[in-house]
Amino acid sequence: MAKIEIIKGDITRLHIDAIVNAANNSLTGGGGVDGAIHIAAGPELLRSCKLLEGCETGDAKITKGFNLPAKFVIHTVGPVWQEGKTNENQLLASCYKESLMLAVRNNIRTLAFPNISTGIYGYPKPQAATIAFETIQAFLINHQQIDRVICCCFDEENLKIYRELYDKGIVAVRVFSPLAIETTSKLAEKIWHEHYVPMIGIEQVSYMVNSFQSVKAIGNQINNENYQYYIIYHQSEPAGYIAIKPMGEELFLSKFYIIQEKRGTGLGKKGYDFISKKAKEFGCKSITLTVNKNNINSIKAYRKFGFEIENPVITDIGSGFIMDDYKMRSRLDTD
């Protein structure tokens, strides 16, 4: 997978294939990064941009770099923050995805992004950084043509946020965009087949993945059922995923899976620490989950994290299939 780098600096001075410009809809230049890129590129950039006849929010268009060290400029228009009421998350994710798609189509192997929409457009910096990370990482999984993506931060606040996300101790990145939902679904298919087929058989596993972990199902859980999904990363690669749902004084841990080749790397402990932190943020007093009675290794692992079996739970999941589980609970120290 391509290497992601976090730097603080002037994006107009980077000697790479392409830089991304946080442009406005007219593509005729403005303040901040947009103005700096136009100044550094020279008047040919403006003339070239006028031929593009503008750009819709969330879309991207490409020009030459002219006097810039970069060969190309990818212009994308980020959303103005309006308290999340006008699909800002989806539009911002689209900025990154469409820019990366243009890079692939134009054989661009190295590119740099600014902190799109976090200036005068007012997007909350932590949320914008999360969307940037999850969209870039998810895209790179299936597009090996790109060698390096630089997140070029203009200010110390963004730099700190990006570095904290990238730090090895931060293993979970919130799933917002359609591309990240698709990545989560692919992880689910891989993990459930390698983990559950020996327990309940391939027919039931296939049914469960299609019914409960498809792109449509995960999207519905996120958008309509108050679930939060997180992709777990290890060394910049997706290694598993978490799904949680706050339910009053308890946090329901719906999913917590790590792919087979990444087990034994300490991600289980780090993932559970993350889950516990989220539970306390929600004000929950305990974490609950259900686990298959035949899943002996998982039951042992959860017991190490302080979970105890409360009662058996038998669930009819449709098509003649039954889940025979234990309900487990871990009570949190709320002092």
- Nearest Cα to 248, choosing from 221, 233, 226, 263? 226
CA–CA distance, 41 with 9 (Å, rounded to integer) = 17
Ordered alpha helix ranges (H), the chain: 32-41, 43-50, 88-105, 125-141, 156-166, 178-200, 202-212, 215-224, 267-281, 296-304
Q: Give the list of residues 6+ apart from residue 50 with CB closer than 8 angstroms, or none.
A: 27, 28
| The residue type at 304 | K
CA–CA distance, 59 with 99 (Å, rounded to integer) = 8
Residue 334: count other Cβ atoms within 10 Å of its Cβ. Answer: 11
Question: Rounded to the nearest 10 degrees, what angle do helices 88-105 and 178-200 cross at?
Answer: 90
273 is catalytic: no
- Choosing from 10, 17, 34, 335, which is the catalytic residue? 34
CB 209 within 8 A of CB 226: no
Q: Which residues are catalytic?
A: 34
